[in-house]
Structure 1
């Protein structure tokens, strides 16, 4: 690990000046969009894309749709940055997932910007009963007065209004819902489901254990992304909803598990 860190520092030191500044900016903010960097350095978006490609090829950054971020396995991106990443893809995937939820169903929805996109797409439904540890989801879905929204107890996470803790798990175990709609931070090459927060993972496990079907929303950037805490295996999911930029390895992995795959195309 020490040798890897030394190697990366040596590579960073040899970068062209603009790429050094881009790397420093992303390290300071956690994430930066192509548009913002183009304005910051007064160059075309195509120039920034070439810079980013070089930085990502050197494993200094991780490329996302519309920008780049640090590839940390121990710390997630800030909430507002996660909202911006793959926002168009999330809407398409969320719309597809929502079409598989019938009216008058009971559902769990966990923490995440992807699940919040699903909440918005569910507003046209009727008679839903929703149990959630995500205050953003609760506020979104409260716009439909025909829904019953049940918010878990627990400890409020200020950074994204998620709720976790032992009280959250105990609360969830009182229910048996038709569906669980979950997001995930990363999916390893062997199919391991990964996240950053141990407390959040324990809550999501309880949600999965107490739902008849588990629907996972995950855009293509989540596949191959590292995170510290293991939630479970992809085989524990009923259906995966993703977009059409998935790498062949992960498409084959999903097919081998026998789970349902739904692809939201452009």
Structure 2
């Protein structure tokens, strides 16, 4: 099995653990559609990276609300993120523009949809985003300086912020780990939040992209309050009361329709 498939299985297990206190290991082969040996290897990876604890045929989440490595985040809600990225990119007019893109898996999907737009200049602190755009050789890419964060594979710190603030942007598109009408847009990382804030403050049009699992969550570091964001693009599983509250606060909240999410590793209705 490829690492991508493994990451998808790990994401399913983590999603199940987010709803339950513990899982029985014996049910995971059927849930995931793989052999017991594959499950054991996956659990060894999860335990080794501090995501779970194992004991007496059970697993529990090591910590609630922990920031996941970006490689695992790519596999979570992948279809929703792909559709969010396509819609967000459609909000960017087809003309020469300067755009700021943060790091993260959902913003990475925006980058993929913008990759054929040769008239764009993109400033990014996301190493994965920069690598993808540079490989396509159409978008002009400016990478900020800064210190690399291994979990998110992006650049943060004074060097990154100074680089961002040396530009003015037509559009800034950033992600979020938590979204609340009261707490605003939040991140796991204080340093990551600082770069998002700088990008948004330097931009004429400010867009946040995040799948619906981020709504209602509050993380430790505030990027900006709701009054500082023009548009949120999320998916159709967003809680209606949360969407209504964000719209009342002045955030244009756009939902992309996505297929039903998996239940126990399988799509609903199958």
Give the shorter-chain TM-score range. 0.7 to 0.9
Counterpart in the other structure of 1:78: 69
Match of 1:205 among 197, 205, 214: 197
Q: Does 1:22 align with 2:23?
A: yes
Q: Distance in 2 between matches of 1:150 and 1:124?
A: 16
Match of 1:91 among 78, 82, 88: 82
Could you tell me how far 1:72 is from its partner in structure 2? Answer: 2.8
Q: Provide closer, same or farther for how the CA distance between residues 125 and 164 of structure 1 changes in structure 2, counting only shifts above 3 A.
A: same
Could you tell me how far 1:202 is from its partner in structure 2? Answer: 1.0
Contact 1:71 1:226 in 2 (8 A): no
- 3-state SS, counterpart of residue 140 of structure 1: helix
Match of 1:149 among 141, 148, 168: 141
Q: Provide closer, same or farther for how the CA distance between residues 21 and 264 of structure 1 changes in structure 2, counting only shifts above 3 A.
A: closer
TM-superposition CA deviations, 1:87-134 (whole Å, max 9, x none): 000001110111111232110001211000110111232211000000
TM-superposition CA deviations, 1:124-152 (whole Å, max 9, x none): 32211000000100111113323210000
Q: Does 1:132 align with 2:124?
A: yes
Could you tell me how far 1:259 is from its partner in structure 2? Answer: 2.5
Q: Distance in 2 between matches of 1:107 and 1:263?
A: 22
Match of 1:231 among 223, 226, 229: 223
Could you tell me how far 1:71 is from its partner in structure 2? Answer: 6.8
Q: Distance in 2 between matches of 1:22 and 1:95?
A: 35
Q: Provide the aligned C-alpha RMSD in A.
A: 2.7
Q: Distance in 1 between matches of 2:227 and 2:107?
A: 20
- For structure 2, the residue ranges without an aligned partner over 5 or more in a row are 1-19, 38-59, 259-270
Counterpart in the other structure of 2:4: none
Q: Distance in 1 between matches of 2:104 and 2:247?
A: 25
Contact 1:72 1:227 in 2 (8 A): no
Contact 2:148 2:156 in 1 (8 A): yes
Match of 2:173 among 176, 181, 188: 181
Q: Provide closer, same or farther for how the CA distance between residues 20 and 206 of structure 1 changes in structure 2, counting only shifts above 3 A.
A: closer
- For structure 1, the residue ranges without an aligned partner over 5 or more in a row are 1-18, 26-31, 43-67
Could you tell me how far 1:255 is from its partner in structure 2? Answer: 1.6
Task: Select between 141-150 and 206-215 the one with higher mean Cα deviation.
Answer: 141-150
Counterpart in the other structure of 2:115: 123
Q: Distance in 1 between matches of 2:197 and 2:29?
A: 33
Q: Distance in 2 between matches of 1:239 and 1:97?
A: 9
Could you tell me how far 1:80 is from its partner in structure 2? Answer: 2.0
Contact 2:174 2:207 in 1 (8 A): yes
Q: Distance in 1 between matches of 2:151 and 2:87?
A: 28
Q: Provide closer, same or farther for how the CA distance between residues 212 and 148 of structure 1 changes in structure 2, counting only shifts above 3 A.
A: same
